[in-house]
Each structure stands twice: as structure tokens, then as C-alpha cells.
Amino acid sequence: MNPLFQEELQVVNVGLPAFAEAIRMAGGTAVQVEWTPPGQGDSQVAQELAGLINHPAVEAANRQAFAAYQSAQPVLEGVATAAAVVPDMGERTILHSGPPIPWERMCGPMQGAIIGAILYEGWARDADAALAVVARGEVQFAPCHDHGAVGPMAGVISPSMPVWIVADREHGNRAYCNLNEGLGKVLRFGANGPEVIERLRWMAGVLAPALAAALERHGGLELKPLMAQALHMGDEVHNRNAAASSLLLKRLVPALLRADPAPAEIAAVVEFLAGNDHFFLNLSMAACKAMLDAAAGFSGSSMVTAMARNGVEFGIRLSGMGDAWFTAPAPVVDGLFFPGYGTADAAPDLGDSAITETAGVGGFAMAAAPAIVQFVGGTPQDAIAHTNEMTHITLGRNGALTLPAIDFVGTPAGIDARKVVDTGIAPIINTGIAHRQAGIGQIGAGITRAPLACFAQAIVALAERVES
């Protein structure tokens, strides 16, 4: 008889917990190790992954990409009209969030926002006429990311909209994002009624020139220290931007008041800024885009440089794979819904705002923002656990963005697609939830995960490029 069966059994069970439970029910002891097969059991993916793990070229490229991300110095330089600054933006181009998608496949909120943008631009007089403009092919659509830009939710940027200009002063690249409209009926959630268009026109005609004048007076505004301060004030700078928006106000309003000539309607501008706790979101996104663009283009790198959703598909980019998108169906968000709404009303995950998680903030920095669980669900302990879980799939920590609640460690950053595929741990994302129909707006907020399939595809494609 095997001596094993004469001793007391000490079982370590890897993977499916049912085996360990059976042993425990029989009175034995079993330690359960959480584990899933790499690539979720897809043998091709697992094989390609095996070739990339500890690969010297990938390791070296990742070190370079991560170092570039870390050394980036995003500075808010100004506000300008999109057509004047966003690269390769044609006269009839409308940018949208997420990976590329044709009009017919777009989700309701994105179509609604595009109709709004056409009305705002004056290319049509009403929604029907706007649809006809689209049908005649008179508008070109492209992802924000393909033009160095990002936009929350529908992410719609049309030529005459104002955008933030954020420069990475370390590497010279620039990133752009539209200006936040506030909550309620807003374009980014697909609303396009007269009050939405009127607000957009006020933002372009009054707000943007005032901000531009303030920034000219102030000079470049470094965003990383401001984000770091906000993380010490309970923000994660994706779904909670109360502190960052206040800090921005404190920086800009004195300059606004000193600007010469003083902008008209200054009180209305300050009231708009003071009344919108999400105002910093779009700047956080532009800063994250600038930091991640610095990390893009390192041949062989498996570092994720973008995660973005168009409400139908979720797409990611890798540093070593240029502008290629790796996509999978966008998930539905599990969250807290406003009264009267539920999962059935929700558009799938939407927006470029997951650029914040890609840069190590948002869901990755939830440990900084215990109060956010009142908005997205869960407990403060969950928030810390989410941050800690992300250390398993990241290349390092960003020492410039620290988390007080967990002893001031840097936030986990630089998602390594290899680690995601290897562990099966999907990046976590804090997000707003839009109604699936155009025009209704936000119906909740919650937590979601990036689909693993994107990362598996990316790893297979990267393996083809990297010599074994």
C-alpha cells in the first residue's frame, strides 16, 4: 500500500475549488490555490503566451515603455477648436469613442450624440435632416484615439468643438479631449435636444475662450501633481473627480480674474466650473492619453496603451502593435442604477474613459477613493482589494501617484497583456452607465472588467511579430 494513504492527507488543490471542497466535506484539509489555465484553456493562446513570457525582447521593450509612461509630464497647455489642433481632422469628420465602428452598428447614445454634433455644427436643421446627412455619406467617422484624442462615453468631437490640449513635455507628444458638459441631458450620453446644443455653443463661445485666456495667463499647468493631490483627497480621477475639479478651479479662477482683458460672463464661467464635480474627468483622460502615447510604439512590448469602448465593442492597443485594435463584444456594466432603471436599460460599456485605468488610475486606484463605492457599489474593502488585485497584471507602480490608504504605495500601472492572459485577471474599470437609447442619458454607474478575449488576440498577434 502506498505510504501516502497511511499519513494524514495535506492537500493543495489548484484550480477548480470543487475538489478541495469535497476533501473538506470528507473531513480532510485542503488549501485552495486560485488558478485558471492561461488563455482560459485555449491551447494556441497558451502556446503563444509561453513564447512571450520572459522573452528578453519583450521584457526590454516593456521596461522602455513603462519608463516612458512613468517619465511623461502631461501639462495642460491650452484650449482650442478641434479643427485647429487635432491632427488630420477633416472639415466633415466626427470623432467617437472606442475602436472603429460603422454608423449602422453604433449604439443608441453614440448615434444620438452624432446627430447632436451635426446639429451643433449647423450641417442640418433637425434630427431627420441630420440622419439624411449621414445616409448621404457626407460625414466621416473615426475613433478619437486615431487622432490623438479621447472622449468620455460617446466621445463625440466635431470640428468646431473646443478641446483641451495636453502636452507631454518629456516626449513632445500631445493629447486632446473635449470639455465636460456636466451631468443630466448631455451629448456624451446621447442627448441632443435644444438645451444640449445651446450649452455646447455657450461652451465654445464663452467657456472655452475664458479658459484659454486663463491658461495663457497661468502658463502650462502640470497635471500629474494635481492628479496625485486628488488621489490624496479621495478621487480616483475617473468616476470621482470632486477634489481634482476643485483643485483645477483654484488654479484657473485667479488667472481668469487676472486675464487681460477680463473675459465676459466670468461669473457664469465660474458657476459652471464650480457646479460640475466631473469637470476634471476630461483633463484626467487627456493626461492619461498623453502618458500612454509616450509608452506606445516600443517594438515587442506587451504593455497596453489604450482600452476603449464604443458601446458595441471593447478594444485595446498594445505598445508593440502600433495602431491595431484587438476587440471583443463590450460587456454590460454591473452597477448601481438610478431609480427606475436596470441592467436591461443599459447600453454596453461605452467611452474612452478607460484610458484612466490603462494609466493606473480609475478602477486601478480605487484604494484612494473609498467614498466612490457609494456611486459604483461595493465596500471600501472591495476598493482596496481591486487595487491590490491589479498588481498581478501590471508592470510596476507609478511612484508619482500614491495611495494613502495602502501605505502610500504607487498605484499599479502599465497593464501587461501577457499577465492578463496568464492569470485570467481582467482589468477593472469604473464607469458611468448610459441608457441604450439615444437622448435619455446616464442611468447609473458601476464596475466592469475588460473582456479577456481582447488580450488573447493581442498576445497571438504580438507573438507573430516577436522572434522566438
If one asks whether residue 377 binds its own copies (CB under 8 A), the answer comes out as no
Q: Does 303 bind its own copies (CB under 8 A)?
A: no
Q: Is 406 helix (H, G, I), strand (E, B) or coil?
A: helix
Establish if 263 lies at the interface with its own copies (CB under 8 A). no
By CB under 8 A, is residue 270 in contact with its own copies?
yes
d(CA 339, CA 346): 13
Of 9, 271, 329, 342, the residue at the interface with its own copies (CB under 8 A) is 271
Q: Which of 195, 257, 264, 465 binds its own copies (CB under 8 A)?
A: 257
Q: Interface with its own copies includes 264 (CB under 8 A)? A: no
Q: Does 405 bind its own copies (CB under 8 A)?
A: yes
- Beta bridge mates, 327: 315
Is residue 1 close enough to count as binding its own copies by CB under 8 A?
no
Report the SS3 class of residue 161. Answer: coil
Q: Which of 406, 423, 437, 461 binds its own copies (CB under 8 A)?
A: 406
For residue 99, the SS3 value is coil
| Total interface residues for its own copies by CB under 8 A | 32
As a whole number of angstroms, the distance between CA 405 and CA 115 comes to 44
Those residues whose C-beta lies under 8 Å from the C-beta of residue 132, and which sit 6 or more positions away, are 124
254 lies in the site for its own copies, by CB under 8 A:
yes
DSSP letters for 289-317: HHHHHHTTT-TT--BEEEEEEESSEEEEE
Minimum CB distance to its own copies smaller for 172 or for 261: 261
Q: Going edge to edge, which strands form the sheet with 174-178?
A: 149-150, 174-178, 162-168, 74-81, 221-222
H or E, element range at 429: strand 428-434
Output b/e per residue, 181-207; b: 16+ Cβ within 10 A: beeebbbbbbbbeeebbebbeebbebb
Q: Is 274 in the site for its own copies (CB under 8 A)?
A: yes
Q: What CA dihedral angle connects 109, 111, 112 and 113, to 10 degrees?
A: 90
Q: How far is the CB of 247 from its own copies (least distance, A)?
A: 7
Pairing type for strands 74-81 and 409-415 reads unpaired
Cell 489548484 belongs to residue: 14
Q: Which phi and psi (to 5°) does residue 207 adopt?
A: -60, -50
Q: Tell me the Ramachandran region of residue 153: left when phi exceeds 0, alpha when psi lies from -120 to 50, beta otherwise.
A: left
- Is 242 an interacting residue with respect to its own copies (CB under 8 A)? yes
State which residue, 84 or 274, has the beta carbon closest to its own copies. Answer: 274
Is there binding between residue 105 and its own copies (CB under 8 A)?
A: no
Query: Which ranges of 138-241 does DSSP label H, i.e. alpha helix?
Result: 194-202, 208-218, 223-231
Give the number of residues written for the chain.
Answer: 468
Stretch 50-69: interaction string toward its own copies, x if CB under 8 A: --------------------
- Taking the complex as a whole, the smallest distance from the CB of residue 331 to its own copies amounts, in Å, to 27
Q: Which helix (H) or strand (E) holds 112?
A: helix 108-121
Whichever of 31 and 371 has its CB closer to its own copies, that residue is: 371
| 75: contact with its own copies by CB under 8 A | no
Does position 370 bind its own copies by CB under 8 A?
Answer: yes
What is the residue whose three cell numbers read 487622432? 147
Could you say whether residue 286 binds its own copies (CB under 8 A)?
A: no
Most distant pair of Cα atoms in the chain: their distance: 95
Residue 62 or 241: the one with the smaller Cβ distance to its own copies is 241
Only one of the segments 69-77, 288-296, 372-380, 459-467 lies at the binding site for its own copies (rule: CB under 8 A); that segment is 372-380
Chosen residue from 129, 250, 323, 342 binding its own copies by CB under 8 A: 250
Site map for its own copies, 326-365, x if CB under 8 A?
----------------------------------------
Using CB under 8 A as the binding rule, whether residue 409 contacts its own copies is answered as no
Residue (113 or 226) nearer to its own copies, CB: 226
Cell of 416: 501587461
By the rule CB under 8 A, 29 interacts with its own copies: no
Q: Which residue is it, cell 511579430?
A: 465
Contact flags string 199-238 toward its own copies, x per CB under 8 A:
------------------------------x--xxxx---
* Residue 246 binds to its own copies (criterion: CB under 8 A): yes
Closest CB to its own copies among residues 370, 441: 370
CA–CA gap between residue 76 and residue 218 (Å, rounded): 10
**List 7, 8, 407, 467, residue binding its own copies (CB under 8 A):** 407
The residue ranges that bind its own copies (CB under 8 A) are: 229, 232-235, 242-243, 246-247, 249-251, 253-254, 257-258, 266-267, 270-271, 274, 370-371, 373-374, 379-380, 404-408
